[in-house]
Amino acid sequence: MPQGKQNPSGPFARATSAEVRATMARQRVSGAQLAFRAGVSQSYLSKRLRDDLPFTLNDIEAICKALDEDLETLVHAAAQAVSAQ
């Protein structure tokens, strides 16, 4: 796999980060709290929440676990948001 600059977030990645942000808001979880719970740095999480870089699938699994959110529900909501565009 080539190393170097990562591609910017596409529509599905942006919709997924929007779902993560919405879940964080509903649960009143800060970025610092989520980063700690998910085992990533605040900087790492912040770049992805701002859509500077896309989340990995491992990130999404860890975030869903940290937020006690159903993975399928989150991904489905993101997919629906992309379909509605």
pLDDT in tens, 19-48: 999 999 999 999 999 999 999 999 999 999
| pLDDT classification of 51: cutoffs 50, 70, 90 | very high
CA nearest 23: which of 13, 32, 14, 34?
Answer: 34
CA nearest 76: which of 33, 22, 12, 9?
Answer: 12
The beta-carbon contacts of 35-39 under 8 Å, at least 24 apart in sequence, are 37/66, 37/67, 38/62, 38/63, 38/65, 38/66
> Which sequence spans correspond to the domains of the chain?
11-83
Between residues 3 and 22, which one has the greater pLDDT? 22
What is the C-alpha separation between 28 and 80, in angstroms, rounded? 24
Correct CATH for 11-83 of 3.40.50.720, 2.102.10.10, 1.10.260.40, 1.10.357.10: 1.10.260.40
